[in-house]
Amino acid sequence: MSDEKSKKKLSSGVIVLIIVLVAVVLLGVAQIVSAFSDGSIKANKQKNNSIPRSSGKYVAELYIDGTILDKSETYNQEWLLSTIEQLKNDPKNEGILLYIDSPGGAVYQSDEAYLALMDYRAEKPVWAYFGSLAASGGYYIGCSAEKIAANRNTLTGSIGVIAGRSVDLTGLMSKYGIKMTTVTAGKNKNMMGIDSPFTEEQKKIMQDLADECYEQFVEIVADSRDLSIAQTKQLADGRIYTAKQAKENGLIDEICSLQDFETQFKEFLRNDKITFQELKYEREKKFYEDFFSSFSKIKNPKTEFEMIQEVITTDMTYPAYLYQAN
C-alpha cells in the first residue's frame, strides 16, 4: 500500500515538473518571438519613456490615441509628458506633428497635455493632424497646434463638458424592498449616489463646475483659432462636426492626407530631407496576460449585456466626455 502511495506521489511530482518545464519553455519561446517581432516593427515604436536615436534632424510624429486618462492600453499621461519634455531638450528634434485619434477624456489630463505642448511650442513648432475622431479633450489638445489638418472623414469638435451623471434608483429600490443606507458627514457628500435623490442645490453645484470648465475650454479654442468668445460659443454646444463643417467654421485649417501634411511640414521647415519619427505608446504585456486572457475568453465569452455594462461603467475621471467607438 505504501509502495502504491509512493508511486502516486512520484507520478504527481513528475506531472507537476513537466507542467512547470512546459510553461518555462513557452515563456522563453514567447520572449524570443517578441524580441524578433519587435525588431521587425519600426524601431521608433515606443513602449517606454525613451525617444528614438536619430542620425539627423527629425520631426516627432506623436500619437494621442484613445481615451485621455492617466493610463490605458494605448494612452499614458506620464509617458506623453515625459516624451514632450525629452523632445523639447533634444537638439535633433525640429518639431512635433501630433496625430490625434481620441474621443476625449478627463479635463485635467487634457489640459496638462495642452500646457506641456504649449511650453514646447515656445521653442519649436507644433502641428496637428486629426484621425478618425478628434473630439472634446482630443480637440482641446489639438488647440496647442499652430496648424490643424484632418482627414476628410474625420469627426471633431464636441466642445463641451460633462461634469457627472446622476442615476436615482430610490424609487426602484423601494418598489422591490431594497434598502441601502450611506452614512455621511456633510449633506452633499453622497450627491449623485444611487440611493439619494439629486437635489436642486446639488444640480447647481455640478452645473457651476461644468460651466467653469466650459469657459476655460471656450477660451482655449477662441485663442487657438483666432475666434471671438461669442463665435466660439456658437460652435461650442457639444456637437461634433465633419471635417468639411469644421473647416467652414474655422475649427481646422485644411482637409488633406497625412502624407500631404507631412510634405507641408517639410516645406515649412525648409528641409525636404527631414525624417518623421513615429512615437506611439503601447503598454507592454507580459506573456501570461495574453495566455490566460485567451483562455478566459474561450471559457467565458462576454454577453452583449456584459459589453454594454463595460461601456457605461468605464473608469473615467469627471468632468469628461466619453465616446465609445467600435
Tell me the catalytic residues: 136, 189
Residue 122 to residue 25: CA distance in whole angstroms = 52
User: Could you give the residue ranges of the DSSP H alpha helices within 143-286?
Assistant: 170-175, 200-225, 229-235, 243-248, 258-269
- Assess whether the previous peptide bond of 197 is cis (omega < 30° from 0): no
Which residues face 63 on adjacent strands?
A: 99
Max distance between CA atoms of the chain, in angstroms, equals 92
User: How far apart, in whole angstroms, are the C-alpha atoms of residue 28 and residue 274?
Assistant: 39
Dihedral angle at the C-alpha atoms of 129, 134, 137, 140, nearest 10 degrees?
Answer: 40
Q: Which of 135, 88, 133, 91 shows the shortest CA–CA distance to 115?
A: 88
* DSSP conformation class of 112: H
Chain centroid, CA 270 distance in Å: 33
